[in-house]
Structure 1
């Protein structure tokens, strides 16, 4: 195959699903995931901070109204789901929903657009959707897991938390079984959070890539309906990640 020859289907798919990695082993970094996530975070939350600074108590403009609707939606979910006292849960839930939604929304860009832009500045390939990288989804879910542990110890204290671990649900006489079930329950939380988001977004990106391999007239016929449907998926996945985080933190604030 010459250098100008078109890539095969497998090469095309591999190109779009491979991260730009520097380093080796444990100290390797997916540069495209890190940079895209950071840039999106700065843009989106910088924009929301700007709206907050310019907010007025009078009749809001369209931008302020849209942000207020989003904020009210998140606050409603927190009020209905979280049963503890914590000033961090609301801002955390808003951050998760907005950031995950924006990361997912990169999937709606044309498959080759980001790669072409990066190739023009000498970067060989660039994976555009950070949530199709399990390193990112596990990093977010593990962060939530550490918050769960932190609030369990903060609210229940060490003695109360250990008593809950060893006595629920079967009583103190079956402490080893209680511990086993608790370990399974707690470890399943970050794993399910990470894999649910990663799996759905990876599958969606794969469908877009397969559509891009079709003739141009079929790309329009199949691509537009899938993109419209995918808007629901990216929104739902951001909402699920947010609501499960709220639920898990609420459970950490409660005692059996």
Structure 2
């Protein structure tokens, strides 16, 4: 049975409607359920990011670059400078990783600037009644990215120290060989807390911002006074989020670089 039209929903139901993911189950419970909207939007934004970079490099000019090429070069130089100042290892993969993380998350976060109904209404005409547009407001997406960083941490640690060196560090650091159980517990907690904190920080900020946008949108539809109040609050919250959106992408990128640098450091 198709859900009610959004216009017929109460404010609470309206917010819940826009926070519900379009899912597809493969059987086996929640673990085998795909959030289709998160997956599709994340992939499309990733491809769009690649396309934007391709536009800048397809006909590069060494002398006086075009405006878009110059803008992209400034952005890439900014990220490269952050990597150079933060990461002290030898891997050449870190800058491409940082570029991917920052710009991909930035584009996904920017979808928040589009009012929810601007996406939901056209999709309803196609028979799609649920579509949560911001991938980073879905904990599955942020955990997916942070787990990827976690596996990169393991890869970088193994590459720098080898399996024996990494195992020795896990067992004997920081309290020495006589405190192996405590060392093991502390190191497991430390390693697991990094991807969890990465994911929850980004998810919390984006999900909370999404709820506030929806609350303001509901306020604006209550009355004429509410419409003006909603417009004022909405504009203020949008301006604030113009700072939050790149900041959250930057924090995720910087912490990822720091974690990769730390796992290569023999001093842990």
Tell me the TM-score normalized by structure 2.
0.92
Q: Does 1:86 align with 2:97?
A: no
Q: Does 1:45 align with 2:50?
A: yes
Q: Does 1:60 align with 2:53?
A: no
CA displacement at 1:111 relative to structure 2:
2.2
**C-alpha distance in 1, partners of 2:179/2:196?**
26
Bigger mean CA deviation after superposition, 118-127 or 188-197? 118-127
Q: Spell out the pairing of 1:84-233 with structure 2 (5 A cutoff).
A: 84-214=89-219, 215-233=226-244
**C-alpha distance in 1, partners of 2:16/2:4?**
17
**C-alpha distance in 1, partners of 2:124/2:48?**
23
Higher relative contact order, structure no. (Cα contacts within 8 Å, ≥ 6 residues apart) = 1
**C-alpha distance in 2, partners of 1:140/1:238?**
12
1:76-110 CA-to-partner distances (Å, cap 9, x unmatched) read 11100001011111001000000000101111111
Aligned to 1:21: 23
**C-alpha distance in 1, partners of 2:65/2:4?**
56
**C-alpha distance in 2, partners of 1:216/1:118?**
25
CA displacement at 1:248 relative to structure 2:
0.6
| Corresponding residue pairs, total | 255
Q: Tell me, which stretches of 5 or more residues in structure 2 are unaligned?
A: 220-225
CA displacement at 1:196 relative to structure 2:
0.3
Aligned to 2:223: none
1:199-247 CA-to-partner distances (Å, cap 9, x unmatched) read 0000000000000011322221110111010011111100000001101
**C-alpha distance in 2, partners of 1:193/1:108?**
22
Tell me the TM-score normalized by structure 1.
0.96
**C-alpha distance in 2, partners of 1:3/1:54?**
51
- Of 6, 11, 14, the residue aligned with 2:13 is 11
1:125-179 CA-to-partner distances (Å, cap 9, x unmatched) read 2111010101100000001001101111121011111111112111111111111
SS at match of 1:56: coil
Structure 1 outlier segments of 4+, above 6 Å:
none
**C-alpha distance in 2, partners of 1:105/1:117?**
19
Q: Tell me, which stretches of 5 or more residues in structure 1 are unaligned?
A: none
Aligned to 1:244: 255
**C-alpha distance in 1, partners of 2:120/2:147?**
30
CA displacement at 1:50 relative to structure 2:
2.3
Distance change in 2, residues 1:204/1:170 (3 Å): same
**C-alpha distance in 2, partners of 1:89/1:47?**
21
